[in-house]
Structure 1
Amino acid sequence: MVNATSLPPLHPIYIQLLDAVDVGIHIINQEGKSVIYNRKMSEIEDMDKEDVLNKSIMEIFLFQSEEESRLLQALRKGSVRKNARQTYFNFKGQEITTINDTFPLVHEGNIIGAVEIAKDITKIERLTRVSAQEKPEARYTFDQIIGQSRSIREVIEGAQKATRTTSSVLIFGETGTGKELFAQSIHNGSERASKAFISQNCAALPDTLIEGILFGTVKGAFTGATEHPGLFEQAHGGTLMLDEINSLSAPLQAKLLRAIQEKTIRRIGDTKDRPIDVRIIATLNEDPLKAIEKNDLREDLYYRLSVVYIVVPPLRERKEDIPLLVEHFINKYNQRFQLNVPSVSEGVLNLFFEYDWPGNIRELEHMIEGAMNLIHYDEEIDYTHLPTHVRTKFPLYETFTKPLTAFSIPESEATKPLQSFMEEAEMLYIDQVLKHHQGNITQAAKNLGISRQSLQYRMKKYDINVKSI
């Protein structure tokens, strides 16, 4: 039975379960002493259980008063905090930053303890402090955007016009289409080119952390907070690129809208507004109208950002640019890897034109880089160097992109039905690949991009015997 004024002892099995979860759990009893402190919390705060259990919160952490401890506030006042960022110091003086849920434990109307569930973001916080101090440079200009297709040239021409003003820009494009290249090019082509260009992926960090990164903090805003300018202040006079803007929560989008419209920001914990002069370039990897329908993007923020609206086409809509892009990436990795790869084979280039490129230009670059890791010094990239998922989708492509002399039908014979021709081509190609691998079924299946079982099925179907190879 649970006493109305105390926490019951916990069964050892439950202790094991608490130690197995990947979040920190810290529970105090009615006297403010720690009774449960799981393994993950021990890792987050770098303290042994023996340093914590049966001790009061004020003994364990360097709080100046009980008001600074959310656990004690939950215990004394019944306060509840959800998904709240907290920075504090353990008794060793180490700074810790977590995202916490803190709430009282209530039994029969009485508070008998309090619990805190924590996710560690200490390393992320330190990294963002370092990165925020750096001034990323915009490296790209419009003449470095590769492509001669009509679709990409029209986008480039439209984006170049945006360099003449300071209006907000919204760039929509699928993942891997090169949205940041356009953002950097707009910055470098504008009068702000000599000032800072700062890029922040809004999806990379939780709201509780990114708000401080964007708007800054003042000392004392929360436990451990320091005087810290946000990205808006750091980009003053320059450009701030906000990637995946739709990943921000609605309240934070509202705060962003206010900053853009009023050209002022207020640091977390501050009482005064600070003027800013920043051009905003935001990016989305999904259609903004769909994002609005899903309530992922505020409609008023969309209209404020899309003064200049740029749509970067996916690679499947500008396939005539593939040869130029392939040449560029081969040259790039020839220099990086000290190779002398001349090109891709004609069959691979034809396959590239057939492929739908879900990962766009980034996928093409990674495919070229991956192939050049498998290649000899001056070898041409061919079908065997492509990733498995592509060869699986086009298992016989290399055969059909070569001259069809092996499959030519004598003029004296009637033309065969397509199905018969396909089966004959498949049988001949499987036989050739098996011979190439000296009858090794595993290696042949890997080369063909199919499973060993699938190859064995086809060998049985076409009566191909490895003993005769």
Structure 2
Amino acid sequence: MNKIDFNLIDKFFQKILKEIDIGVHVVNHEGKTIIYNQKMAEIEGMDFSDVLDKDLLDVFSFHNNEDSTLMKALAHGEKIINAKQTYFNNKGQEITTINNTFPIHEGGVRIGAMEIARDVTKLEKLIRENMNKKGNTRYTFDSIIGSSEQLQEVIEASKRATRTSSSVLIIGDTGTGKELFAQSIHNGSNRSAKPFISQNCAALPDSLIEGLLFGTKKGAFTGAVERPGLFEQAEGGTLLLDEINSLNPALQAKLLRVLQERMVRRIGDTKDRKVDVRIIATINEDPIDAISSGKLRKDLYYRLSVVSLFIPPLKNRKKDIHDLVHYFIEKYNHLFGMRVKGINEEVLSIFEQYDWPGNVRELEHVIEGAMNLIVLEDHIGYLHLPIHFRNKPQFKQEDFKTATPSKVNNNNEIFALDEYMDKAERNYLEKVLKLHNYNITQAAKSLCMSRQNLQYRLKKHQIKKEDF
């Protein structure tokens, strides 16, 4: 009979400990670590030397000693299965694991304890983030920018609507922020912990939107599977139906039935299912006009408009422009790594004269476009405004027209100012890139901008590495 080679077995044991994708931690009867594998070190962000032959409670922090599953197994001889444990390493980093922990006995004497751990730190963080976002929404009433009386009146009415589960109809032009109000109402209500589901009714054809809303029964049509609709998925929460006037009259009738009976029937099914969902609908035109033109059923309108909110267009609340401009500049300063402080008085004057048919969304796009044209300036000027905006007839005043290129003494050329700025920006970027041997990271750092912003400008000026 062959003699067992314990040295070989020990090598196998060490190899297994190193390669298995699960944490292993063993302490002796004194609570000192005697086995600690590679995966456990990765989970806990520790070095072997920080843990091996050290007292467990000297290395890791628990809310109290009893929170350590290893110490519980060691002290009480308990086997602990699938226990979640949150604790901190010696750097103060939070760790969450799911553990199976066992006491180790030899001849009836407890000589230690071992733990097999799975890392769920990232999962726990995601769960907390989603809880902080209250489902899949990110907007609250604090997200609504503007101090005008018109806007504040709508905010107050919206806050009152959070107290009930009545249907809400939000009326407003495109770009006024209707979904922002809808999410704020949901997050301010007692349904905030439940789902918030949004569906644009104009985004899909009628054949698809019906199954999406109400669900389908397997075999109802070729390829149909058993699937709950948005009403069932939003159970206990809120369903936002954007552009409700885009639904055809037949689907509007089905929707009205669901609202009245609080029951939904999947396509091809004979069974009605009870649903508890708050409906918030939006419309981008006057509902009376939509009813007159046959786009919106009158009975559905009355059912939806238990609470009606009219969001004023930006042209009717010019006082909010200053606050919105400041907010969007800060937003894109963060995204682009820039330090723009504000807008010039002439630009503010233009903004206040403009009617903003695209509302807040258009204002944001103008600010974003302007910040893409800024080089070293700290304020947005007229020439930073996107060309399509400057080409609008009301802004083609003589004060803002740029000169046509012409010749002067000594054959020096005079260019239109925006053309000169483009040339100056290109020349300066080329100079900085040469200085840093075309290292994008170092060049961006010296220019106090993000890599993304610099790469955008290089693409804009068609500056390529091979040109150097």
Structure 1-normalised TM-score? 0.58
Partners of 1:191 and 1:395 in 2: CA distance: 48
Q: For residue 399 of structure 1, what is the aligned residue in structure 2?
A: 399
Give the direction of change, closer, same or farther, for the CA distance of 1:373–1:208 in structure 2 (3 Å limit): same
Deviates more, 1:390-399 or 1:224-233: 390-399
Partners of 2:240 and 2:340 in 1: CA distance: 36
Q: For residue 309 of structure 1, what is the aligned residue in structure 2?
A: 308
Matches within 5 A, 1:25-44: none
Partners of 1:247 and 1:301 in 2: CA distance: 13
1:281 is paired with a residue whose SS is strand
Residues 250-298 of structure 1: per-residue CA shift (max 9 Å, x gap): 0000000000100000000101000000000000000000000000000
**Are 1:389 and 2:364 matched, yes or no?**
no
Q: For residue 116 of structure 1, what is the aligned residue in structure 2?
A: none
**Are 1:354 and 2:353 matched, yes or no?**
yes
One-letter code of the match for 1:399? Answer: D
Q: For residue 438 of structure 1, what is the aligned residue in structure 2?
A: 413
**Are the aligned partners of 1:433 and 1:444 in contact in 2 as well (CA < 8 Å)?**
no
Residues 410-430 of structure 1: per-residue CA shift (max 9 Å, x gap): xxxxxxxxxxxxxxxx7xx64
One-letter code of the match for 2:195? Answer: A
Partners of 1:433 and 1:143 in 2: CA distance: 53
CA deviation after TM superposition for structure 1 residue 167, in Å: 0.2
- Give RMSD over aligned pairs: 2.5
Partners of 1:184 and 1:246 in 2: CA distance: 20
Partners of 1:343 and 1:169 in 2: CA distance: 37
**Are the aligned partners of 2:403 and 2:417 in contact in 1 as well (CA < 8 Å)?**
no
Partners of 2:135 and 2:312 in 1: CA distance: 26
Give the direction of change, closer, same or farther, for the CA distance of 1:222–1:152 in structure 2 (3 Å limit): same
Q: For residue 252 of structure 2, what is the aligned residue in structure 1?
A: 253
Give the direction of change, closer, same or farther, for the CA distance of 1:397–1:143 in structure 2 (3 Å limit): farther
CA deviation after TM superposition for structure 1 residue 399, in Å: 2.6
Give the direction of change, closer, same or farther, for the CA distance of 1:295–1:136 in structure 2 (3 Å limit): farther
Give the direction of change, closer, same or farther, for the CA distance of 1:269–1:351 in structure 2 (3 Å limit): same
Query: Which protein has the larger Cα radius of gyration, Structure 1 or Structure 2?
Result: 2
Residues 302-348 of structure 1: per-residue CA shift (max 9 Å, x gap): 00000000000000000011010000000000000111111111110
**Are 1:144 and 2:143 matched, yes or no?**
yes
Q: For residue 179 of structure 2, what is the aligned residue in structure 1?
A: 180
Partners of 2:417 and 2:334 in 1: CA distance: 35
One-letter code of the match for 1:215? Answer: F
CA deviation after TM superposition for structure 1 residue 441, in Å: 7.0
Partners of 1:180 and 1:367 in 2: CA distance: 21
Partners of 2:310 and 2:189 in 1: CA distance: 20
One-letter code of the match for 2:389? Answer: V
One-letter code of the match for 1:288? Answer: P
Residues 78-104 of structure 1: per-residue CA shift (max 9 Å, x gap): xxxxxxxxxxxxxxxxxxxxxxxxxxx
**Are 1:200 and 2:199 matched, yes or no?**
yes
Deviates more, 1:279-288 or 1:367-376: 367-376
CA deviation after TM superposition for structure 1 residue 388, in Å: 2.3
Identity %, equivalent residues: 62
Q: For residue 224 of structure 1, what is the aligned residue in structure 2?
A: 223
**Are the aligned partners of 1:348 and 1:398 in contact in 2 as well (CA < 8 Å)?**
no
CA deviation after TM superposition for structure 1 residue 433, in Å: 10
One-letter code of the match for 1:153? Answer: Q
Partners of 1:433 and 1:314 in 2: CA distance: 44
Give the direction of change, closer, same or farther, for the CA distance of 1:336–1:443 in structure 2 (3 Å limit): closer
Partners of 1:330 and 1:320 in 2: CA distance: 17
Partners of 2:376 and 2:262 in 1: CA distance: 55
Partners of 2:302 and 2:378 in 1: CA distance: 52
CA deviation after TM superposition for structure 1 residue 432, in Å: 9.7
Give the direction of change, closer, same or farther, for the CA distance of 1:326–1:289 in structure 2 (3 Å limit): same
Partners of 1:226 and 1:260 in 2: CA distance: 25
One-letter code of the match for 1:389? Answer: H
CA deviation after TM superposition for structure 1 residue 158, in Å: 0.6
CA deviation after TM superposition for structure 1 residue 189, in Å: 0.5
**Are the aligned partners of 1:167 and 1:279 in contact in 2 as well (CA < 8 Å)?**
yes
5+ residue gaps, structure 2:
1-133, 423-468
Q: For residue 379 of structure 1, what is the aligned residue in structure 2?
A: 378
Q: For residue 165 of structure 1, what is the aligned residue in structure 2?
A: 164
Instruction: Tell me which stretches of 4 or more aligned residues in structure 1 moved more than 3 Å.
Output: 394-398, 429-435, 437-447
1:280 is paired with a residue whose SS is strand
